[in-house]
Amino acid sequence: MWDLTARLEAAALSLTGPGHIKDRLFEAYCRHLEDIQESDLPGELGPQFAAMIQALHRARALPGDHVVRASVRKLSNDEAHRYAELVVRLYGMLAGMRHHVGTRSVRPVAPFANLLAAEAGAGS
């Protein structure tokens, strides 16, 4: 069985690479998140992840296109940014659960989320 935390970490890291947020979201989802289900995730973020999955599969793909790529193209930059933040929050939550034993506090992911927000605003 794959390690969910490692998959979310890989997805979060791929969201930090070069390129437009929509392209990075497409790559992160298709390479690392595609087979993760809402039921795999603990807490209140599971339903948000399910909503993201639905959003990433709602567009009708033209022949030769990928449904997720077509769906991501139709997202606003704000939506893409929000889904990228969700992936980072999920990773932070699971990593925090995993490493919480013996740790006084878990470093917040807000600085990374703020970086994504600034990048999304600049790309508009």
Which tokens go with 44? 């209140």
Most confident of 42-51, 68-77, 96-105, 108-117: 68-77
Report whether pLDDT(91) > 70.
yes
Percent of the chain scoring above 70 in pLDDT = 77
Percent of the chain scoring above 90 in pLDDT = 64
The pLDDT score that the predictor gives to residue 103 is: 47
- Tell which wins on pLDDT, 72 or 98: 72
The pLDDT score that the predictor gives to residue 114 is: 61
Give residue limits of the domains in the chain: 4-123
Residue with tokens 């930090």: 16
Indicate the helix (H) or strand (E) that contains 24. helix 21-28
CA–CA gap between residue 91 and residue 71 (Å, rounded): 23
- Tell which wins on pLDDT, 63 or 121: 63
Residue 34 neighbours by CB distance under 10 Å:
12
The pLDDT score that the predictor gives to residue 64 is: 92
Residues 13-69: tens digit of each pLDDT: 999 989 999 999 999 999 999 999 999 887 788 999 999 999 999 999 999 999 999
Report whether pLDDT(96) > 80.
no
CA–CA gap between residue 61 and residue 57 (Å, rounded): 9
